[in-house]
Structure 1
């Protein structure tokens, strides 16, 4: 092979095979060329007995410029590569340095860096005693292309893992990397694990660390959370993801397993978010089954859980406006009209929003998430507003929240058909009537009927649909029940005797 020196062993093997085989066959057996075989037969010395070569086979093309020009440039900036330096030499000496010298220049640069280059980072392998270290991190899972009820579902996965055994717990996060998501996911993992590690490590999460402070201080809420569970908080250095490698590698393995399981499933569509959460939990449990023996060793080393969890929500005050709307963190929610004018305490959970008034929960709705690049998400429940709309149906046509009130796409399509073919007054009365009918518990059935009506190119008949999905109950006849006298029971007892 070119560039490789022939060893003494190859020479001995060649001579051994040469006694029985031809020169070509013996050279092939020894792994040398036929030309090398001829040289061996013409020499009485072994390769190790020959003096070291102290001459060049060709003139060094870089000799005139290496020490005087290339080395000073490398000392000025060691990250300059061979292509850049060759182009600079070509500008300084036109026609003298072609592309054929590039490999030589790159080899010389690599050798120079090995002796005179800057120090490089060293990776220090770590031991992870059982019960000492737990790690948390978020990872974006949009590449899984999951759909919920036919719509794209951008989301993240929060994952907690033990460094020693590899036990893990994953939670779906539809919002950002907030402290609320961190607190909820971490506490769910610890209580499912049944113990607490000595140290909890994250990367530069803004939910856990004040990255704007000079000393990178812990946020107060995260510090209180760690104190509640008796954990020591730590973090890896900024932009050094390998220092958090125990969790980063598990992100890759989890997303790969989810992708493969989705491919095996044959579809990436789920009817509800809860169904997808169960799917993720199934994959995580498969990973945990593989580390059950290591977990059995580590679990006795964990610290005891506290008596209770700490709060898993964020409280913010809000006022319900005259539009039956309250705003929390730039997100609009509808509320029943009875709450108009009241100041409520809103509890923000990762998946839901609760409104408390005077120590009583008066409203509980799913938390709104941004979809399709929406800057200010909305969660408008038509059930809160349909009673008022029935009294003022004409307000529906130019209502600011009109497009957010439709519970399903078929209702929006129905409004577009009605507004195009009927007068504004009639279209509003019909649409509000349909929403009122849906609010009585017939949303899904009415949606199916409206789809059939739209497919036939017709307009919905409110009275006919009302009779179909919510027929009127017949009159209940009055039944007079006459109770027997107690004396009759005495007569029966006498007959029995």
Structure 2
């Protein structure tokens, strides 16, 4: 056709294009391709197998949410396999899909959103038990608090030991904002239904008020998606899966999923987030310029509980019985309840700090034998039927030692020996660990601990003398400082 436009003859143009003269005449007469000239087939090549059952299909399509395979199976039950064989199933499914596209109900439309810099940040919790992380060899079920900027994708994750609580939200959110160095205009979460689980109406209102106060402190607008509509929180829901994939891949590269301590695992998670943020440095830097300024200080990120120290030298906080120093018996102490720890105050004075315990039972125990060993040495027989006896032992080796002593010795002697072992272990943390290893070796050998030998082996060595020897000064050194001694004689 290009050659023909140059006023070449039909035969010359065909030769230039490599066509035969006959093909050139056909193209010159009608330039359409053969496939474009073909008329669509409007007739059937075989009998429609659904002619008789289609009215019944239309009746069943009026049931909301019914699946094509359900309709097919119900028709087979009604008509039999001979009238509607399995070979017709795909035909029915295609026919139903076409009918729904032409005559069915409208489907939900998802509207893509524009994410302006500095406008929105999102928070969510995600369970990470599938990672198989262990701490010092022990399984570590946990979840992550996940914070993310919608525009640049900057993220922060904090390991959460408990469930969705105000302290977990407040700690994670404030850690993220202060690490980010600015505040977005809006903070979006899901409905936080897990945080409200098992809370009465007053507790729910208190949670809502504290969360509102937290957002007002940072001048953020709190928003939530509709309950059960996860796609409204899509900028964080999808990122939850991505961060777990990145953590899993890093753990595979690391070659081990075991960590020495919770702090080491938290540092690992922080490093994964930092590497991800570094790849978005340019976008994050641009969004940081649009963030609002942080307030002068953080706000409350804990729940406050008042607990009275019982005569058992314990306090009861969130279904857990904690031991405290016996000098606090009878006092009321204020407990700041964080996600991973408790901080106790007597008035304005800090008293102690301890790790927060968790339980899936009606009640649990967190006992530090150092708080009770002084009284227990005076009352060793109280050990036998102590309610929280198993929680009293600091390591598994001490529980093994108690079982062996209780089986081999009279009750009174067994209690005395076990309390003496605990008293020996309480002298210092190093002795507690070393003594536990020694007890395991003794029990593995089939012997009982010999208290006298252990006390000699682990007893602290007293200092040789408290006197300090001061040597007499050398007066000749002072004489050399006299002016007469410094004069230069001829």
TM-score over 0.5 for the alignment? yes
Query: For structure 1, which runs of at least 5 residues remain unmatched after alignment?
Result: 1-15, 20-44
Contact persistence 1:78–1:117 (CA under 8 A): no
**Aligned partner of 2:377 among 380, 390, 407:** 390
Task: Give, in angstroms, the shift of residue 494 of structure 1.
Answer: 9.4
Contact persistence 2:136–2:261 (CA under 8 A): yes
Structure 1 window deviating more from structure 2 (469-478 vs 95-104): it is 469-478
Which residue of 1 is the match for residue 280 of structure 2?
291
Which residue of 2 is the match for residue 457 of structure 1?
446
**Aligned partner of 1:378 among 343, 361, 365:** 365
Task: Give 3-state SS (helix, strand or coil) of 1:395's partner.
Answer: helix
Cα distance in 2 for partners of 1:104, 1:348 equals: 62
Matched, 1:428 2:383: no
Contact persistence 2:136–2:259 (CA under 8 A): yes
TM-score (norm 2): 0.85
Per-residue CA deviations over 1:362-387 (Å, capped at 9, x if unaligned) read 121111123xx444232100000011
Task: Give, in angstroms, the shift of residue 18 of structure 1.
Answer: 13
Q: 1:166 to 1:494 in 2, by over 3 A?
A: closer
Per-residue CA deviations over 1:332-375 (Å, capped at 9, x if unaligned) read 100111111111111112221122112111121111123xx444
Task: Give, in angstroms, the shift of residue 93 of structure 1.
Answer: 2.6
Which residue of 1 is the match for residue 45 of structure 2?
57
Cα distance in 2 for partners of 1:393, 1:324 equals: 16
**Aligned partner of 1:91 among 69, 77, 81:** 77
Matched, 1:124 2:124: no
Cα distance in 2 for partners of 1:356, 1:192 equals: 28
Which residue of 2 is the match for residue 8 of structure 1?
none
Which residue of 2 is the match for residue 6 of structure 1?
none
TM-score (norm 1): 0.84
Contact persistence 1:78–1:118 (CA under 8 A): no
Q: 1:206 to 1:102 in 2, by over 3 A?
A: closer
Cα distance in 1 for partners of 2:463, 2:263 equals: 40
Task: Give 3-state SS (helix, strand or coil) of 1:399's partner.
Answer: coil
Q: 1:209 to 1:269 in 2, by over 3 A?
A: closer
Q: 1:491 to 1:223 in 2, by over 3 A?
A: closer
**Aligned partner of 1:313 among 272, 287, 302:** 302
**Aligned partner of 1:224 among 207, 210, 213:** 213
Q: 1:111 to 1:481 in 2, by over 3 A?
A: closer
Q: 1:225 to 1:88 in 2, by over 3 A?
A: same
Contact persistence 1:208–1:222 (CA under 8 A): no
Pairwise CA RMSD of aligned residues?
A: 2.9
Cα distance in 1 for partners of 2:310, 2:91 equals: 76
Per-residue CA deviations over 1:284-332 (Å, capped at 9, x if unaligned) read 1110110111111111100000111101111111111111111012111
Cα distance in 2 for partners of 1:86, 1:93 equals: 10
Task: Give 3-state SS (helix, strand or coil) of 1:301's partner.
Answer: coil
Matched, 1:82 2:68: yes
Cα distance in 2 for partners of 1:421, 1:17 equals: 106
Q: 1:209 to 1:333 in 2, by over 3 A?
A: closer
Cα distance in 2 for partners of 1:304, 1:414 equals: 58
Cα distance in 2 for partners of 1:334, 1:423 equals: 29
Matched, 1:192 2:147: no
Task: Give, in angstroms, the shift of residue 89 of structure 1.
Answer: 2.3
Which residue of 1 is the match for residue 357 of structure 2?
368
Which residue of 2 is the match for residue 181 of structure 1?
168
**Aligned partner of 1:300 among 283, 289, 292:** 289
